[in-house]
Amino acid sequence: MSGRSFPVTFGAMLAPFLIWAGHFGLVYAINGAVCARSPEGAMLFGYPLSVALVAAATVLAMAWVAVLLVMALRGSGPAGHVASADPRRFARWFVVAGAGSALVAILWVGLPALLVPACG
């Protein structure tokens, strides 16, 4: 088994950070594009378009990371392919800690969407 699953295993270990990065890029793109190109005063769910989209992206990203966190706590996840005990424990720990950090980071970065005007 060893070796073949490296991209999968390593990718899964980094998944919380990758989701963070995806969220960050998406949020910036939404904000930039909406402020530059959308009609003045466009609304969604009663909020300015950009704010609503950013908030939705943040909730989605956090939910996804939370799923990974729960999976890792339950023992499934990236360590599945690994045969020897030490790297398996490490991979699991890494996902749990990484998911925790990513949750905080996504929230921290997504929060301004609720607090500041989008396109000022």
Partner 1 sequence: MTLRTDEPRDEFPGGRPTPSPIPRPPGEEEELRRLWRLPQGIARVTAVNNSQVGVWYIGTALLFFLISGVLALAIRLQLAVPGNDLLDHGTYNQFFTVHGTGMMFLFAVPIVEAIGVFLLPSMLAARDLPFPRLSAFAFWAYFFGGIFFFCSLIFDAAPDGGWFMYPPLTSYEHSPGINTDFWLLGIGFIEISAIAGAIEIVIGILRTRPPGMTLDKLPIYAWSMLVMAGMIIFAFPAVIVATALLEIERAFHWPFFIAERGGDPLLWQHLFWFFGHPEVYIIFLPAAGLVSMMVPTLARRPLVGHDWVVLALVGTGFFSFGLWVHHMFATGIPSLSLSFFSAASMAVAVPSGIQVFAWIATLGAGRVQWTVATHFLFGFLFIFVLGGLTGVMVAVVPFDWQAHDSYFVVAHLHYVLIGGMVFPVFAGLYHWWPTLNGRLLSERLGRWAFWLMFIGFNVAFFPMHISGLLGMPRRVYTYPGDLGWNLLNMISTVGSFVLALGVLLVLIDIARSTFGGGQKAPDNPWNAGTLEWLPNELYATRSIPHVTGLYPLWEQPDLPREVREGAHYLPGAPTGRRETIVTSPIEAKPQYLMPLPGPHWGPFLAGLFTAVHFMCLTVQWYYPSLVPAVLAIAMVIWWLWGLDTGADHPPQDVGGGWRVPVYIQGPKNHSWWGMVVLLLVDGTAFACLIFTYLFLWTVSPDVWPAGGGGLPGLPWLAGGLALWGLSALAIGWARRAVDRNRHGHVRIGLILAWAAMVVGILLDANAQIGTGLVAAASAYGAIASMLVAWQAFHVAVMTLMLGYTLARSAAGLLHAERRVTFDNTLLMGWYSAAQGSIALLLLHLFPRLAI
Q: What does the binding site for partner 1 look like in residue numbers (CB under 8 A)?
A: 2-6, 9-10, 14, 17-18, 20-21, 24, 27-28, 31-33, 35-37, 50-51, 54, 82-84, 86-87, 89-91, 93-94, 97-98, 101, 104-105, 108-113, 115-120
Q: How far is the CB of 6 from partner 1 (least distance, A)?
A: 5
Task: Show Cβ contacts of residue 41 under 8 Å, excluding neighbours closer than 6 positions.
Answer: 48
User: Residue 44 or residue 105: which is nearer to partner 1 going by CB?
Assistant: 105
First to last CA, the chain: 54
Residues 41/93, Cβ–Cβ less than 8 Å: no
Q: How many CB atoms are closer than 10 A to CB 97?
A: 13
Q: How far is the CB of 4 from partner 1 (least distance, A)?
A: 8
User: Residue 10 or residue 45: which is nearer to partner 1 going by CB?
Assistant: 10
Return the SS3 of 48.
strand
